[in-house]
Each structure stands twice: as structure tokens, then as C-alpha cells.
Structure 1
Amino acid sequence: MWLSGSVLLLSAAVAQAKYIVPGARWRDTDGNLVNAHAGNVIQDNGTFWWFGEYKVEGQEEGGGVSVYSSTDLATWASHGLALEPVEGSPYISPSNIIQRPKVVYSESTGKYHMWWHADNSSYGLLLQGFATADTPAGPYSFVNATAPLGNWSQDFGMFTDYKDGRTYALYSNGDRAEGRDVYLTSYNKEVTALDEVVHRFDKFDLEAPTIIQTERSYYALMSHKTGYRPNNVVAFRADSLSGPWSQPWIVAPLNTRTYNSQSGFTLRIKGSKKTTYLYLGDQWDSNSLWESRYIWLPMNIHDNRRTLEVEWHDVYDLNVKTGDFKPVKGREYTSKDATTNGNAFKQEANFASDGVILTGIEGNDSTVTFHGIEGTGKPQWVSFYYQNTDDMGFGDQPGGSPDRIGGSWQLRRISSVVVNGNTEKVETLYQRDTHKGIILSTPLQLTLNKGSKNTITVGGLSNGFHYKGADLDKIVVYPSEK
């Protein structure tokens, strides 16, 4: 298959591997935020192509499908829009919904085929869109939007069996009471139309489906229907796609809500030494969809035990040629040794690293400071381990707690981060909702002075309801990238 000269230049430019940092603000080679949500990744002649929803700031629909390329899954070059909205189109206009795009190469046609959930702004069409292109980056030409075998189609996924090359669609068929199934349906040989239903996951009321394949098993991952609020993703297992499929189980520690992410796609990296399976999830921010983050994590699969778990790593290094990944080791600084200012204080917490957590972090008057931090003088990742108990509710929060009936959900607290007292450069740290006693982490890239005399001070910024930062357990400082 033909690839452009720009991709060859990219290969040389990113020969040095970079770290993968789940939940970080990922930027492309031009310095812009990567904007490719709920899509998929394909590999073509040694290059990875990432397709996803392009979210326009301030709106949910009408952005089209973006495309990026990489040779290491960490350094991404933007190729703009693979599928652009068309004014006046009944299916891909700026007012239409173009969600969960997936691309596959069709050997029969020699083209790249894109499929997605095609809808209007009221979700009244429930169709699958189809477009084709001669190259991975496109542009893709719209072909049609159809009801799959006469059925409804909402959240959309795609899977290609690496053993026989057959491609399948996965789709939930709506939110109405009579449409709470997920269908697994085969495509014809050309991947131009659906062929037949292979299996139906009945009445589990799930969405965001994806399948990962091992030598012995198929694992289907799906999320519950909670809109942009994260939940506990579940998995099913089967020996064949037609089933029988197992009962579902939760794939990440309970109440982490799958590390505040939703399933979107899974990727098999077959290397020269081992095979690594990646969970490619979306960390949606309903306050600002266009800058939602990505949670890409290894999956620990044991076919003998018939289990699959998503593993959390703050920072890891993946070699796509060998298939090996290695968690990067950082240095911890716990809340026990931090200092407090104003109304911030240390509180007993039997679930925290040293039995102590930092709380009362509010505005610029009540802050906490970590001292004696070792820096490299270059940008390096710092993970902030925190608890956000917004599930407990606030008196000034309309609707009360998100875990109450009718409650609202802000999904985040926002903290200010200042390095070495330099208040002219304040970094912003978004801390998603966790739960009582649940510690999660969120990363920020900071530049520390070389040596061990650095300080990091954390305060609170407004998220629309209050100026409170999340409670802090510890920070972990990672070495600069290679």
C-alpha cells in the first residue's frame, strides 16, 4: 500500500520512543492538543493511524473525523480532517452527529473504509455512516448512511479477526426500553455492508463496545450507559464470536470507574518478543468535550484463568517493535512531609500512603507545599495522587451530589500548581471525581530546576461552584523523557 513522503519523514523524526502518559494533555508534533475522541487505531506498513471525533470547542456535534499518524504510539502528527462536514448534507452536516468513527482496510476494494454512528442532533436517525478513501489519511468520500439490517444503531465499534481477516461491527441499538442490546454483526468480504448477526448481548444496557482477541479467546469490553459520566467497564469472554459468552465482570478496581474512562477501542501489539494488549479509553470532560483526555493502558490477560484486567501506570514506555512495555519508576513525596498554609491541614486517612491526607486546599490562601523535590532542569511528568469526594455533595452545588437521584456531576476539581514560588506561571491541574477513600492520579508536565531544592505548591481554582482543590495523598516525580 502506498504511503506519502510525509509519513516517511515522520518515521525518521520519531525514531526515539516517548512515554505514554494516561490522562495527560497529549500534544501533536505541532504543539496542539490531540483531538481524536472515541475512534480507533490501525497499523499500516509500520505506521499507526489514529482516527477520532474532532470536537469543536463549545459544541458536541459537527466536527468531523480527525486523523493522526505515529510510529511509536506516543508521538503523533496531525493530518487534519479525514472526513469533513458538508453543509446541507442530511448525514454529515455541521449539525449532524458523527460519533465513534472506525477505519479498516478492505483488501477486496483496495480502499480504506470508515464507518461511524451517524445521527441528527436529537439522536432520531440511529444509522451507520460509510465513507471510503484511497489512503489512510483520506480525504474520505461519503457513500451512504443506513440502518444495519433494518435495526437501530447507536454507539459503534469495529473488530477485525487477525486469524481470518473478517471484520465485524458492534453497536448498541438505542436507549429505548426495547432497544437495550448490543449486536455483533459480520461485514461482507468487501466491508461495504453488514452480512448477518453473529451474536446479540441481550438487555445488559451497555454501550461503547470493543473486542480484543488472543490466541485462545475473544474478550468484549463495554461500558454502562451513563452519558459522559465514567462507570465500571465490564468484559465478557468467549471461545468463538458466536458464543456462548460468559457473564460480564468489572475490569478495573471497583469505584475507580475504570480510572475515570469509557471503553472505546482495544489494540493488539504483536512484537518480536511479546504481545501487548492496550485498552484505549476516553476520559470525557462534559464541561469541555473538545479537550477530553485519553486513558491508554495495558491489559493483563490470563487465558488459563479466563480473566482480563486493565492495569494502571502513571507513565510507561512501550516498544512497538518488541511488544514490551515498561512502567517508568518515579520518586514519591508524601503528604506527611508537606507543609500547609492557611486553612489547609493534614487529616487522618487510613487509605492514604502514610495514613495522612492533605485537605482544606482552597484558593491562593490555603495551600500545601512539597519540598526537596529532585529535578532534571528539563520537562518531566509529575503525578498528583488525590481523592475528590464530590460524590459527597456540596451545599452550593445545584442538584446536590452526583450519586444522589437527580444530582449533578461536575466531574472535576481544579487546582493551581506553582513551581518554586513562581506565581507568574501557574499550571492548571484537573482532578476528576473519585469516591470516598479512592485514590487516583492525574499528571502534569512541569519543568523543575536541576537539583533537589525544588518546591511544588498546590492551591485551588474555581470549577464553577467552589475554589477547592482535591485532597492530596502524594506526588510522584518521573525522570525526563529519553
Structure 2
Amino acid sequence: MRVETLFSWLAFAAAAARAKYIVPGGRWHDTDGNLINAHAGGVTVEPETGKFYWFGEYKIEEQEEGGGVTVYSSEDLATWTYEGLALAPIEGHPYISPEHIIQRPKVAYSESLNQYHMWWHADNSTYGWLLQGFATADTIAGPYTFVNATAPLGNWSQDFGMFTDHKDGRAYALYSNGDRKEGRDVYLTTFNDDITALDTVVHRWDKFDLEAPTIIQTEGSYYALMSHKTGYRPNNVVAFRADSLAGPWSQPFFVAPPNTRTFNSQSGFSLRIVGENKTTYLYLGDQWDSNSLWESRYIWLPVNIDDEKKTLEVEWHDVYELDV
């Protein structure tokens, strides 16, 4: 009976993965039947079509870094089509060769330049640079052309995130500044109007020693979610709340029951989805497999927010569908 139940569940999970359902922690395949390989990235909405584009690190089997950035497209956040390498490594390149680190890529649309801009954590193999990489493309799926890699306002930058305020369209960078004693902060910084360079530091989470930052914006609040530094091991993701991006920000609180270690995931991105019937906030986490990084899985879950009580909770679902 237990075996039959197990096979029934596996069959259901496989069917759900093919249908327009999201199965957190399942083996997600694209429309060609291949495992989706887009880790620690983010989802960007194409302004003209409303289509979703998922960018992430391309992990090569038995290799930790050097794969570049993949991109997939979807109209429902459940059925994904492989669009190719948005940013491909270039042999001998000083910043994006297969020997270099290209981590946590994010993409935003620059309305003033009518371009798509990709930003990421750019580094050498020893994490000695701690820079931000920048590339551009005329179409959202790319390919993207490398522009530069810089130290943000003269600082270090490791885990990288982006956030766009849906009320005024302003883009922001979120980044931790490394593990050195002089670092261990997380910065929230505005981009310039063209999204080609950083402009002004809005807030600094001083010495919290967190990483993998993302921000969820409701109609009345901002919630900054961040992970502790435990490598590829999951931990209890925390959130800070504020009425404005400049703060003051609350003390950190857990976003999921502590015994779940955020459902065995690490934060990295979040998404606000305005559907026909309701607005959904989505937590986009990574479930790392340190023994086989390219097979790491994805924990995407709805977020329950109560602005009156000033609470946020990531909710577990075995399987669910979205109103997009």
C-alpha cells in the first residue's frame, strides 16, 4: 500500500509538472523535456507583452562556475521555454571567461535607452574582486553584450539583487559587501535613470552579515528578505519591514517556521504578480544540491502579508497554480 501511494504521488507530481502547476522542490523541465538550469537568478516581465523571462546561472555538470546566464520564457510561470544563453562565457575575456564567476544575474528594462540591462556579481575564482558586472541587449532574451565590471561607489559587492519600485519605476541594487571584517553589510542603492550605474546609497544594514537579498513591495510596506551565510546549506531566511526604503527598518524576523530552514531553501528573488482576481507575492528560492549544483531545485512559494499586523510569512504548498 505504501509503495502504491508513493507511485501515485510521483505520478501526480510528474503530471503537475507538465500542467500549469508549480511543484516546489520538484524536478522542473522545460518544454523540450530538459531540466531547467537557471539558478540564483530572477524573473523579468517584458513590458510590451507581459511575458515572463527567467534568468539564472547555468550550472555545468561537475563544475561549480563558468556556465554563463540562461534565459527561459513563460506566459504562466509554470511552462517554460528555453531561449538560450543570454550571456555566454568568452574564452580569454578579462571578466566573463569560463574561469570567472558570474553569479545572481538580474535584468531590468531601461525605458530611457530602450534596452535591457543585466547586472550580476562579477568575480575571479578566489572572490578577490567583489565587483558588479553590467551587460546590455536590445531584446529581453539577448544575447547580452558585456559593458564593464565595477566596484559600486568604490565598495565591494558580492550577492546581488535588484528591485524596481512599482509606484515610481525607480530601480535599486541590493548587495552584500563580502565576508571580510570590514564588510558584512547589505546595501540598498539607487540606479541612475538609465540603469547604467549606481547613484545613491539609500540604506545600509550594518554588520548583520546576511546575503541573497530581495525586496517585496506591497501598497503600504517594503519587506527586505535575506539569507544567513551558510554556503549551500539552507537556513532561516529573515525579513525586515519598513514604510519607506530609507527606513527605519524593523528588526529581523523569520519568514517561515524555524524548523523548516525556509523549506530547505535560500532567498534570492521575489515577484509581485497582478492577476485578474488578486495580487500574489511570490518567494523565489533556491534549494541547493552541493553534490550536484546543476541539479539544484527551486522553491517558489506564495507569501502571505498582513500590512496591518506588519507580518510576512512564506506559505508551503505541495502543489499550486497561480493567477497571472
TM-score (norm 1): 0.63
Give ranges in structure 1 of 5+ residues lacking alignment: 1-15, 321-482
Shift of 1:319: 2.2
Counterpart-to-counterpart distance in 1, 2:275 and 2:317 = 20
> In structure 2, what is the equivalent of residue 355 of structure 1?
none
User: What residue is the counterpart of 1:349 in the other structure?
Assistant: none
1:278 aligns with 2:288: no
Determine helix, strand or coil for the equivalent of 1:231: coil
Give me the whole-angstrom Cα distance separating, in 2, the residues matched to 1:318 and 1:273: 11
How far the C-alpha of 1:266 sits from its partner, in A, is: 0.3
The answer to whether the aligner puts 1:101 opposite 2:105 as a matched pair is yes
1:32 to 31, 34, 45: 34
Structure 1 consecutive aligned stretches of length 4 or more whose deviation exceeds 4 Å: none
Counterpart in the other structure of 2:198? 194
User: For the residues of structure 1 that align with 2:321 and 2:55, how far apart are their CA atoms?
Assistant: 22
Structure 2 equivalent of residue 41 of structure 1: 43
Query: Is 1:206 equivalent to 2:249 in the alignment?
Result: no
The residue type paired with residue 100 of structure 2 is N
Residue 321 of structure 2 aligns to a residue in which SS?
A: strand
Q: 3-state DSSP class of the match of 1:256?
A: helix
Q: Within 1, Cα distance between the matches of 2:39 and 2:65?
A: 12
Q: Distance in 2 between matches of 1:28 and 1:273?
A: 27
Q: 1:177 aligns with which of 176, 181, 184?
A: 181
Q: Which residue is 1:66 aligned to?
A: 70
d(CA) in 2 for partners of 1:271, 1:67 = 23
What code does the residue aligned with 1:20 have?
I
Which residues of structure 2 form unaligned runs of 5+?
Answer: 1-17
Query: Is 1:243 aligned with 2:232?
Result: no
Corresponding residue for residue 131 of structure 1: 135
Q: CA deviation at 1:255?
A: 1.9
**Partner in structure 2 of residue 218 of structure 1:** 222
Partner SS, residue 215 of structure 2: strand
Instruction: Output the amino acid matched with 2:90.
Output: V
In structure 2, give the amino acid aligned to 1:207.
E
Residue 305 (str. 1) matches residue 309 (str. 2): yes
Q: 2:153 aligned with 1:140, yes or no?
A: no
Secondary structure of 1:264's aligned partner: strand
3-state SS of 1:92 partner: coil
**Structure with greater helix share of residues:** 2
1:357-372 matches, within 5 Å, as: none
Partner of 1:384: none
Match of 1:291 among 265, 289, 295: 295
Taking the aligned partners of 2:216 and 2:291, their CA distance within structure 1 comes to: 31
1:191-244 residue CA offsets vs partner (Å, 9 max, x unmatched):
000001000001110000000100000000000001111000000000000000
Shift of 1:271: 1.6
Q: 1:158: which partner in 2?
A: 162
1:275 deviates by 0.5
Q: 1:17: how far off?
A: 6.0
Other-structure match for 2:22? 20
Provide the secondary structure at the position in 2 that maps to 1:125. coil
CA distance in 2, matches of 1:287, 1:120: 22
Displacement of 1:46 in angstroms is 2.1
Asked if the contact 1:159–1:211 (Cα under 8 Å) also holds between the matched residues in 2, the reply is yes
Whose relative contact order is higher, 1 or 2, with alpha carbons under 8 Å and at least 6 apart? Answer: 2
2:88 equivalent among 84, 101, 109: 84
What's the secondary structure of 1:221's corresponding residue?
strand
Tell me the amino acid that sits aligned with residue 63 of structure 2.
Answer: Q
1:149 aligns with 2:173: no
Written as runs of structure 1 = structure 2, the 5 A alignment for 1:400-411 is none
Q: Does 1:255 align with 2:249?
A: no
Give, as a single letter, the amino acid of the residue that structure 1 aligns with 2:38.
Answer: A
Deviation at 1:110, TM superposition (A): 0.2
Q: Secondary structure at the match of 1:259?
A: helix
State the distance in 2 between where 1:318 and 1:153 align: 34
Cα separation, 1, equivalents of 2:25 and 2:83: 23
Describe the SS at the equivalent of 1:98: strand
CA shift at 1:114, angstroms? 0.0
- Cα deviation for residue 317 of structure 1 reads 1.3
Distance in 2, Cα, partners of 1:227 & 1:91: 23
Q: Over aligned residues, Cα RMSD in angstroms?
A: 0.9
Is contact 1:17–1:317 with CA below 8 Å preserved after alignment?
Answer: no
Greater Rg by CA: 1
- How far apart, CA to CA, are the structure 2 residues paired with 1:166 and 1:123? 30
Residue in structure 2 matched with residue 412 of structure 1 by the alignment: none
Structure 2 distance, partners of 1:191, 1:17, is: 37
Count of residue correspondences? 305
Cα distance between partner residues in 1 of 2:63 and 2:183: 27
Aligned equivalents of 2:60, 2:270: Cα separation in 1: 25
Contact 1:117 1:155 in 2 (8 A): yes
The 8 Å contact of residues 57 and 290 in structure 1, kept in 2 or not, is answered as yes
Task: Give the counterpart letter for 1:127 in structure 2.
Answer: L
Q: SS of 1:174's equivalent?
A: coil
Q: CA deviation at 1:177?
A: 1.5
Q: Is the 8 A contact 1:117 1:127 kept in 2?
A: yes
Q: Does the aligned pair in 2 maintain the 1:17–1:319 contact within 8 Å?
A: no
